[in-house]
């Protein structure tokens, strides 16, 4: 579509509501994005007119649901430029995907004294599964440090790489700071020593093109609810050779070829990783979400969000007592800060009274907070439906909060 701010905002019904008598200003998009009408309609249509299980029935409703479910797999494969739709596995999202990879690949191919490299910027969902693996098998976790701008130290990363490195798992974009990491370079360096590369694409999918072949990763995880689709939807891309080697983690219906009490043989990827009934409406919501992003276009999305980020940085920098946390040279639409004399939790509550929704806390990234020596930050995160008026409302609410604490 031709970029039209009002037309885009009109597609999100929740933006019409008020909060405490004020216009809703939603700036918590790194936590979850709002849903356009097309996504809501797809979910409602399945639940009201098309409810059926998939891959099992021969009746019409089941066949229709299965067809739409597999079309979402095709759509997601095209969206990330996977060579085939069979390299897309559906799960409840990035957290579940990382746990499956850690249990499946890690459990099979990582052993005592092997090493896994993570970064200081990671969300807890890209830390805890690897710690649990380390406790089970005795491997070691190494960490890429960051600088005061919130950027990875690639020189140290290269020094960490060695023959014992089996996995490198990093985020494409930091959820806490918005730092855009050099994932192509990281995957290239990992591949040179034979290490598996895993990219957490959660914060990238709705903001920038993600091309798994260009990146050169072995796995990429994603969450639907961070790209305008339903919560509890998402999955991972896995390179064909990796999916064929990796054993299944969960057993049950729809992931088998045959079962007897003597032996079970498994279905080929991706189905051997999709035990049980999935969140069908969630997977179906991925197609209209992808269509929405494609219709707006990444060039328009990146231009608009970058302009908002610059405007937000300039506008909030005028507020006395505001300290930025992380100002990477390459950064997505995240404004992370603290305000002198006001705890972020109190700040979030006061902003809510003005209709402004931001996220406060450690953002499931406590190692980042520990580095900057703060217990929490305030985070305003941007999406395509945000406007300069939203930034102005945020600035106004921040100054009003200062008046309260004065």
Joined together, the tokens standing for residue 29 give 């998009």
Q: What pLDDT shows up at residue 1?
A: 46
Residues of the chain scoring pLDDT < 50 = 1
Q: What pLDDT shows up at residue 2?
A: 55
Joined together, the tokens standing for residue 330 give 């390459």
Q: What is the mean pLDDT of the chain?
A: 97
Q: What pLDDT shows up at residue 101?
A: 98
Contact 401, 320 (CB under 8 A): no
Q: Which residues contact 241 (CB under 8 A, 6 or more apart)?
A: none
CA distance 66 to 57: 9
Provide the residue ranges of all domains of the chain, joining segments of one domain with +.
5-30+297-405, 41-294
CA distance 274 to 64: 19
CATH code 2.60.40.420 for 5-30+297-405: no
CA distance 395 to 310: 14
What residues are annotated to the active site?
A: 364
Contact 287, 88 (CB under 8 A): no
Tens of pLDDT, residues 42-81: 999 999 999 999 998 899 999 999 999 999 999 999 999 9
Pick the CATH number of 41-294 from 3.30.479.30, 3.40.640.10, 3.40.190.10, 3.40.50.720: 3.40.640.10
Q: Helix, strand, or coil here: 74?
A: helix
- To the question of pTM greater than 0.75 for the whole model, the response is yes
Tens of pLDDT, residues 118-138: 999 999 999 999 999 999 999
The DSSP annotation for 154-213 comes to HHHHHHH--TTEEEEEEESB-TTT-BBP-HHHHHHHHHHTT-EEEEE-TTTTTTS---HH
CA distance 255 to 267: 5
Same CATH topology for 5-30+297-405 and 41-294: the answer is no
**Pairing outcome for strands 196-200 and 165-171:** parallel
Joined together, the tokens standing for residue 391 give 């930034």
Q: What pLDDT shows up at residue 3?
A: 74
Tens of pLDDT, residues 261-309: 999 999 999 999 999 999 999 999 999 999 999 999 999 999 999 999 9
């Amino acid at each position: 579509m031709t970029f039209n701010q009002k037309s885009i905002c009109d597609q999100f019904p929740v933006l019409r509501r008020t909060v405490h008598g004020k216009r809703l200003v939603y700036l918590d998009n790194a936590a979850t994005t709002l849903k356009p009408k097309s996504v809501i309609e797809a979910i409602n249509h399945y639940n009201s007119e098309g409810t059926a299980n998939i891959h099992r029935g021969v009746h019409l409703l089941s066949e229709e649901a299965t067809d739409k479910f597999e079309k979402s797999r095709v759509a997601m494969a095209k969206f990330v430029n996977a060579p085939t739709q069979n390299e897309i596995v559906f799960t409840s999202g990035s957290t579940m995907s990382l746990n499956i990879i850690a249990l499946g690949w890690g459990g099979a191919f990582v052993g005592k004294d092997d090493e896994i490299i993570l970064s200081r910027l990671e969300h807890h969902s890209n830390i805890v599964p690897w710690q649990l693996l380390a406790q089970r098998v005795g491997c070691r976790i190494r960490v890429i440090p960051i600088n005061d701008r919130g950027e990875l130290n690639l020189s140290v990363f290269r020094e960490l790489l060695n023959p014992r490195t089996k996995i490198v798992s990093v985020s494409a974009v930091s959820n806490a700071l918005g730092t855009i990491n050099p994932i192509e370079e990281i995957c290239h360096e990992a591949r040179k020593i034979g290490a598996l590369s895993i990219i957490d694409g959660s914060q990238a999918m709705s903001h920038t093109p993600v091309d798994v072949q260009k990146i050169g990763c072995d796995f990429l995880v994603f969450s639907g609810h961070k790209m305008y689709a339903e919560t509890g939807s998402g999955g991972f891309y896995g390179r064909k050779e990796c999916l064929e080697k990796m054993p299944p983690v969960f057993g049950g219906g729809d992931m088998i070829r045959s079962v007897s009490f003597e032996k079970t043989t498994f279905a080929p990827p991706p189905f051997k990783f999709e035990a049980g009934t999935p969140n069908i409406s969630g997977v179906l919501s991925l197609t209209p979400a992808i269509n929405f992003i494609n219709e707006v276009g990444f060039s328009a999305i990146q231009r608009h969000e970058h302009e908002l980020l610059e405007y937000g940085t300039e506008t909030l920098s005028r507020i006395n007592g505001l300290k930025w946390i992380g100002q990477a040279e390459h950064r997505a639409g995240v404004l992370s800060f603290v305000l002198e004399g006001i705890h972020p939790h109190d700040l979030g509550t006061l902003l809510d009274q003005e209709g402004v929704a931001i996220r406060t806390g450690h953002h499931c990234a406590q190692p980042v907070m520990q580095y900057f020596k703060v217990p929490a930050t305030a985070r305003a995160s941007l999406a395509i439906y945000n406007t300069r008026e939203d930034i102005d409302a945020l600035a106004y609410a921040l100054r009003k909060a200062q008046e309260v604490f004065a």
